[in-house]
Structure 1
Amino acid sequence: MANIQTLDPSASPLDYYGWELRRQREAHGLNQGRLGEIIFCTGSLIGQIETTKKIPTRDFSERVDAALGTDGTFSRLIGLVLRSQLPTWFQPYAEMEAKASYISTYQAQVVYGLLQTEEYARAVLATGMSDDLNGLVAARVERQRILDREQPPLTWVVLDESVLLRPIGGREVMRRQLAHLLELTGHRWMHVQVLPNTAGAHASLDGTFNLLRFDDDPDIIYTEDLISGHMTANPEILREASRRYARLQAAALSVEDSAALIARVLEERYGDRSQPEEHAVA
């Protein structure tokens, strides 16, 4: 195990977190085991976080702040730590997403990341090639904190009907994911529409995209390919994307009918516990 003193606290948010945790712990005259007892975890976990072997959680950070009286230092730092666990190419988008006042997205394969349950996100991210699945899942959950703000971004989501039918993670995971979607549709700042299979050919057969709008900055559009993401504020591309999104919304079911369809799929496809679990194959 690496010695925390050999870490460069300026190397990354995670390195700084581990370095600062050990500094604060020692300043309070506590060994790893004793701090673990105070915040209800093992001393081994403290050591692993101090040496960047484990990614801290927000709950862990809040308990450390309470135990050491650090005035929210670790609760503030954890956001940077978790954002740094996102793929490098995705981090600029996540930063812009966190500043957006309006988000609109069309998703053809999976539920939009901000709307995913933790277990659904884990099943989606497990299909990739990351060596740190836990870090990616924690980072995705952290992104969703923007929806808990007093004034969250107005979010408009168009989901292809196939997203509801694709059993990612199995029946139980999908049941909870669709129930979560229905819960979100009860918020005045969240609108979910389903583009039904009966719509046939539509305005975005060539892929998904996100539109972000800001109070004081230019709008941007974000798209992804197999291995990276792309953002642009090109006015011509934005106009075309806006036209496409309007056509998608027009072809999709109303918000009310979409919620009814989600509820029906939830009951008919994922509601029977007597049937064996179905798992997607990566």
Structure 2
Amino acid sequence: MAEKTAESMDQALVERVGKLDLHASPLEDLQLARVITRKQQALTFYGYSSDNDNSDADEEDGRMYTRRERHDNGNMRYLKTYQNAVDALGRPYERLVEEKHFDVDGVCRVDVHFALGQSYLYRKHYFANQRLKSESVFWVEDEVTMACVKNGWWRQYYESGNVASEMQYDQHGIRIGFCKRYAPDGVIEWVKDYTKDYNERLAAFNRRKGELSLSVMEAAKELGFAELPATVKEVNSVYRTKCAPVHPDKTPDPDATEVFISLSRARDVLIAYFEKKDSGAAGKSNGTA
């Protein structure tokens, strides 16, 4: 009798049990599907001694490593805890978990935490007196290169302990909400509501776009057509080509925004024209027009 392959066992399991559940499915099914690879730890409690128990060994891929460096005087200078990992291409890298930097007196000045299973990295800086100097949050986009963007609240402090600044960042690393700066005595010196500012700009953009009134032929000429285009696909293709260099996200030129608005409005007019045309044609074919 031919030995069953792993693939045939998987298929048989799928046909027999369907969807697996980590908590509801029997252990046997989870082990057959290689969801759980550990052995069940069954024992008799009476007579059991934990001092002699070495049966439940840890997996190597969970091991943590710590690299330490010291100042010439023997005090700790640098400490990094990491876990060996492999990226999507199978290349090994060190996945940061914790990192600390100490001054020559052994005082921790920088403390970084990047917990396993999270995409947020937390960093704190300290003054020599161990008072907090700054605290920040990063959204880690790539664990291998540690490419990050600012995220959440960023705060800086004076050595006295008073807050020097408070900045808030969204998921794109852009300032949002109320951001503030303070004088050493706690008096506020600067504040700006970025969300309000963005909403006002958005409203102004949409308002200017809506104010542009074009005929179908004017819209076609705005996009560079000598005559009326034949399809929506043609309109969108030309629109994307012309908008690429003048998109507000691509250039700081303030005049480019107006060009982008004009092109967008022209496209909207042509799209509306084709939708109305197609709707009329459909009505005639159904005998409703």
Which category of TM-score, normalised to the shorter sequence, fits these structures? under 0.3
TM-score, with structure 1 as normaliser: 0.25
TM-score, with structure 2 as normaliser: 0.24
Bigger Rg over Cα = 2
Q: Which has the higher contact order (CA 8 A, sep 6+)?
A: 1
Structure (1 or 2) with the greater strand fraction: 2
